[in-house]
Amino acid sequence: MTLAILCSGQGRQHRQMFALMGDAPEAAHLFAHAAALLGSRDPREFVRNEADEVLHRNRAGQILCTLQPLAAVSTLADAISRGVIVAGYSVGEVAAWGVAGLFDAILTLDLVARRAEIMDAATQAGDGLIFVRGLARDQVGRLCERHGAAIAIVNPGDAFVIGGGGEALSRIAGDARAMHAARVVALPVEVASHTRRLAEASPDFREALRKTQVVFPPQAGVRILSGIDAAPVVSAESGFDKLAAQISHTVQWADCLQACVEAGATGFLELGPGRALSEMAAEIAPTLPARSLDDFRSLQGVRAWVARHLSA
């Protein structure tokens, strides 16, 4: 089995997101560093006790959703150290570089904190994202053009994340419902990620990446994909360019999942939080096993699942 590791984006933070690895000694230094980034608040207590609104603020959300995959890999390195394909959804793409070993884990946390600060500085009040399923891409594109918004993420199955100002998103939501979209929902994200509304943020993050120490090429057998075109990262410089551009350009997530399959993935493991990516993987490749950390009750269960499928 060639394992495709999927790193989740914001929106699925929950109270028990660190249940599996919260007490793992291998991850203790990561929780300590994330606590420093969160104003000396332990992330494990933070997710259990803070209000949902606080959990979903942009900077906190990006840190929490990057900490989970990094902590998971630190505890599961013995189980998933063989050749893997790594892809990340939104901020999960930065986490993917850490998971793949291109960035040090502590540095990865610092980078996403800085990324969030840069995005917040470029964000206008009321900006956000909505999810629309059940309309064709050309229909969604016309709605965005009509109301001054943009497609932020293309997911499998005629499912789209749309970014823009609050008024534009409200009008698009109303029109999409009138057009009998299967689902329309506002997402708990406070920035219009992956749209030109964050055009000023991309060069600033590229400058932050320029100062970042990177290990490239990755270890033998590890492939990492870029979100904006689903292509393998072939150099640090071009990878940095795409990682920065991703902030203000559409993420082609459906293509990323298809690229995993075409690269030989025979199973998917989402590092969470949530199950959204593993469910999409199951949609695009229904014959392949796809699980999320949130499906398991113990790290031993994750190891057993990986070992069973790697030996298959």
Interval 243-266: pLDDT, tens? 999 999 999 999 999 999 999 999
Burial 58-68 (b: 16+ CB within 10 A, else e): bbbbbbbbbbb
Q: CATH number for the 128-189 domain, one of 1.20.58.390, 3.50.50.60, 1.10.1740.10, 3.30.70.250? A: 3.30.70.250
- 232 touches 4 (CB < 8 A): no
The DSSP output letter for 218 is P
Q: pTM above 0.75?
A: yes
Domain residue spans in the chain?
3-122+197-310, 128-189
H or E segment and range at residue 202 = helix 201-210
Rounded Cα–Cα distance for residues 90 and 100 (Å): 16
The reported pLDDT for the residue numbered 308 is 84
- Indicate whether 312 pLDDT > 70: no
Burial 209-241 (b: 16+ CB within 10 A, else e): beebebebebeeebbbbbbbbbbebeebeebbb
Interval 169-216: pLDDT, tens? 999 999 999 999 999 999 999 999 999 999 999 999 999 999 999 999
Q: Which two tokens stand for residue 185?
A: 């929902």
The reported pLDDT for the residue numbered 307 is 87
The reported pLDDT for the residue numbered 108 is 98
Question: What class has domain 3-122+197-310?
Answer: alpha beta
